[in-house]
Amino acid sequence: MSISPEQVLKVSRLARLELSDDELATMTAQLSQVVDYVDQLSELNTDDVVPMAHALDLTNVFVVDQVAESLERSQALANAPHADGECYLVPAVMGD
């Protein structure tokens, strides 16, 4: 298995996900399969291949710096689970 349960735990913490022991075992196996699958690419010799930064062969797509209309606030807040008419409400963020 190419990924350890410790690595999965660390990633789940960064993603703010809480995994039960069962889930951790499942995820470790599944993530390992994914990584192993992608790892097949390393069988290829890429010595002469230029690293690719983007899948599209396209650069320099820009727009002009011009203000356009934003959403009405009521629209922006419409899908929020909690809002007070001005702001989104989330469980208190403490400390920083």
Partner 1 sequence: MSEPYTMVVGLEVHVQLATASKLFCRCSTRFGAEPNTQTCPLCIGLPGALPVMNREAYELGLKAALGLNLEIPRFTKWDRKSYYYPDLPKGYQISQYDLPMSQNGYLEIRDPKGRFETRRIGINRAHLEEDAGKSLHDEAGAVADSRIDLNRCGTPLLEIVSEPDIRSPFEAKAYLSELKLLLTFLNVSDCNMQEGSLRVDANVNLHIDGPDGQVATPIVEVKNMNSFRAVERALTYEAARQYDAWQETGQAKGDVPKQTRGWDDTAGVTHGMRHKEESSDYPYFPDPDLVPVTVTDEEIEQVRQSLGALPAALRDRLQTEFGLSDYDSDVIVGQGPALVEYYLDLAQATGDGKLASNWVQQDVMRYLNDQAIAVADYPVRPDQLAELLTKVKVGELDTSRGRQVLEHMLAAGGTAAEAVEHLGIKQVDAGEEVELCRELLAANPQIVADLQAGKLKAAGALIGMAKKTNPNVNPGRVREIAIELANQWDT
Question: Please, which residue, 40 or 59, has the CB nearer to partner 1?
Answer: 59
Query: One-letter amino acid identity for 65?
Result: D
Contact between 8 and 31 under an 8 Å Cβ cutoff? The reply is: yes
33 and 1 Cβ atoms separated by less than 8 Å: no
What is the total count of residues that contact partner 1 (CB under 8 A)?
A: 36
Q: Which one of 1, 3, 14, 42 is in contact with partner 1 (CB under 8 A)?
A: 14
**Choice between 22 and 67, CB closer to partner 1:** 67
Q: Is residue 50 near partner 1 by the rule CB under 8 A?
A: no
Q: Residues in the chain, how many?
A: 96
83 CB neighbour count, 10 Å cutoff: 16
Residue ranges in contact with partner 1 by CB under 8 A: 10, 14-16, 53-56, 58-68, 70-71, 73, 76-77, 82, 84, 86-93, 95-96
